[in-house]
Amino acid sequence: TKKEKLELIAQRIRPFQDFPSKGILFRDICPILKDPEALTAVTDLFEEHVRQTYPAVELVVGLDARGFLFGPLLAQRLGVGFALVRKKGKLPGPTSSVAYSLEYGKAEVEIQEDGVLPGQKVVLIDDLLATGGTLYATCELMKRQKADVLGCLVVIELLDLKGAERIGSTPTFSLVQY
């Protein structure tokens, strides 16, 4: 059942205190990937949500780096393609990028210009939503490419950080919340 799948996924998320810096409680998704039943459960629940909510989806867009672990599995289930949004400097050919601020310093997300087409209906996927900076910048990048972001999918949402609010009008779907 859906409840059993969510419980299994939650059991396979491992907390590490003070990683990568003091005061951060890091939520590690590696145990999900080591358990085929848990990984299938993640894909099942994302697939069910997208089929019900966004049946017109044409492309799954995954965020560097852990969005790459879940995105292609979902795209295959849905019978659509997968595109990568990377940290700046990793993609060849003509690209488009958007800078954003992190807790400390800055970063930039980038996509190949032909990675997503104007008018294409996409869902964004990542492992975790914290402040929402990464997904917000990616939404801006999609806007610049004239793609239509139907929604965002994450395995984990850290509610205290109000990332869903930062992303604004684009709906967010999460499997496990803390």
Based on the shown chain and the rule CB under 6 A, indicate whether residue 25 belongs to the binding site for ligand ADE: yes
- 4 tagged catalytic: no
| Tokens linked to 46 | 């994302």
| CA dist., res. 33 & res. 35, Å (int) | 5
If the CB atoms of residues 5 and 66 are measured against ligand PRP, the closer one turns out to be 66
If the CB atoms of residues 115 and 163 are measured against ligand PRP, the closer one turns out to be 163
Distances (CA, A) of 132 to 51, 52, 135: 24, 24, 5
Exactly one of 128, 141, 150, 153 binds ligand PRP (CB under 6 A); that residue is: 128
Based on the shown chain and the rule CB under 6 A, indicate whether residue 111 belongs to the binding site for ligand PRP: no
The interface partner of residue 58, options being ligand ADE, ligand PRP, none and the CB cut-off 5 to 8 Å by kind, is none
Buried b (16+ CB within 10 A) or exposed e, 144-174: ebebbbbbbbbbbbbeebebbebbeebebbb
Positions 98 through 157 that interact with ligand ADE (CB under 6 A)? 128, 130
- 103 tagged catalytic: yes
Radius of gyration of the chain (CA): 16
Catalytic annotation, residues? 66, 103
